[in-house]
Amino acid sequence: MARTFHTVGVVGLGTMGAGIAEVFARAGLSVIGVEVDAAALERGRDNLRRSTERAVARGRMTPGERDDILARVGFTGALADLRDADLVVEAIPEVMDYKRALFADLDRVCRPGAVLATNTSSLSVTAIAAFTSRPGQVVGMHFFNPAPVMRLVEVVGTVVTEDGLTADVAELARRVGKTPVTVGDRAGFVVNRLLLGYLNHAVTLLERGVAAKDDIDTAMKTGAGLPMGPFTLLDLIGLDVSHEICEVLFQETRDRVHAPAPLLRELVTAGLLGRKSGRGFHDHAGAARPPASAPAGPAGPAGPTVGSVHVLGDGAGDLAARLAAAGVKHTEAEEADVVIALSGTPVVEHAARLPRPERLAGLHLVGDRVAEVVSTAITAPETARAVAGLMEALGRTPVPCADRAGFVVDALLYPYLNDAVRMYDSGYASIEDIDTAMRLGCGYPAGPFETLDAIGLGTVRDGLRALYAEYREPFFAPTPLLDRLVTAGVTSIRGR
């Protein structure tokens, strides 16, 4: 028989907890909010009040609806007041010892039939449940910040979760206006498992000097169409939170892509945590220059005026025609002011065949708006600046980068897609649920499998092979499923 939920407790009323309380209250449920002391309780009350007032100001809620929501939420400093709750959701800091102690207390004070849920984003739900006498009634209910706005909820079951419980909790999520994705208890679940590998890898590219942080952000936002660049997102999440999730992921996977990048660890140790501290990868409070690796390409004043170019590679004719329309003539390589290699392979391979290789820069066009300007070890700085200027004249945003496999966008995007295929192939989640989770949980314009089909399975497989050949990281090797699909001539992983 399906469970019904009428009264919900929320323990921890920070930004996330207050948002969760608001979600339940908006749906007409009675909510009991719990905090550790009077000061924290008042902050929680203020969080809820400010959030609902913003909704009224933006026309998303009437004053009467706001008053009804506030009337449905009670505030207390005593866990014992949760004794009649049907469901209790904890939203306290991501520290296992804190959560275990809280769940032991909740197990003692809540009625036997109550369901206990953790909002953990990465910790083991099984380990938390083990500290209760009712592990079968403990689930994960992972909301995303801001909870009133974000539609996704990851519902996490364990190997001992009672039959039907995750379905009941998923139905509750639908009742409060969310889209649930039901998964098993693996570190990071769907969203953080895929997201943090990508973010951590972005930090590694920065450390290796492939590109500067602002250019990486630009490439992924403007070129790949993501809502924000990886360093902007890391600062928003909190570098300490990101570091901790990476640690949890690494402890489970032992994959180096999840081992926190040294630069990430260094910033956390220095107290540079992102927006909440005023400074992280970016400066959020007018502080001194934020940490960054030196840019790999153009820097300083604009490059020399270019009167002639020679373009190599696939699509050379089209680019040459566009440059000619802008007043730059196409000529032989020996005579050109600059040589541009349109290439997905190492650009230096072209340079080695030129009489003046310092005049060569690579170019990788991403979407309709970005051009990755690639400098080899022998590209003259003025050449890279000149090519960047040509791209600006054509209406593209230049992203300077080093001559490394995948450059910036593909080096970050393809491993993320590969990891999604790996997750699906392991049986952890369906293609539809993974796509839904990343679209709703991260605000991506498309899920990884939608993106994979749009780019082409063969293109992504070959790009991963190039990344693996350069970096020799097992994480970059194409998953066996992706390899088999390409070999079999399958063109759509979603439609196969």
**Which amino acids are annotated catalytic?**
121, 142, 154, 192
* Residues ≥6 apart with Cβ < 8 Å to 363: 319, 340, 341, 342, 343, 371, 372, 373, 374, 387, 391
Location of structure tokens 């901790």: 244
Residue type, 163: D
Terminal Cα-to-Cα distance of the chain (whole angstroms): 37
Run of H or E including 386: helix 381-393
The candidate with the shortest Cα–Cα distance to 75, out of 34, 21, 116, 125, is: 34
Quick one: 254 exposed, middle or buried, by C-beta within 10 A (0-12, 13-18, 19+)? Answer: exposed
Residue 199 structure tokens: 């973010």
Rg (CA), the chain: 26
Question: If phi over 0 gives left and psi between -120 and 50 gives alpha, with beta otherwise, what is residue 59?
Answer: left
| Phi, psi angle pair for 217, to nearest 5° | -60, -45
Q: Which amino acid is at 38?
A: A
- Best CA proximity match to 457, nearest among 421, 426, 432: 421
- Phi, psi at 428, each rounded to 5°: -70, -40
Nearest to residue 467, comparing CAs of 205, 199, 203? 205
Q: From residue 71, give the alpha-carbon distance in Å to each of 7, 27, 74.
A: 14, 13, 7
Name the token pair of 182: 């039901």
Query: What is the phi-psi region of residue 156: left when phi exceeds 0, alpha when psi lies from -120 to 50, beta otherwise?
Result: beta
The secondary structure of 262-314 as a DSSP string is HHHHHHHHTT--BGGGTBSSSBSSS-SPPP-PPPSS--SS------EEEEEST
Number of CB atoms found within 10 A of residue 174's CB: 11
400: helix, strand or coil:
strand
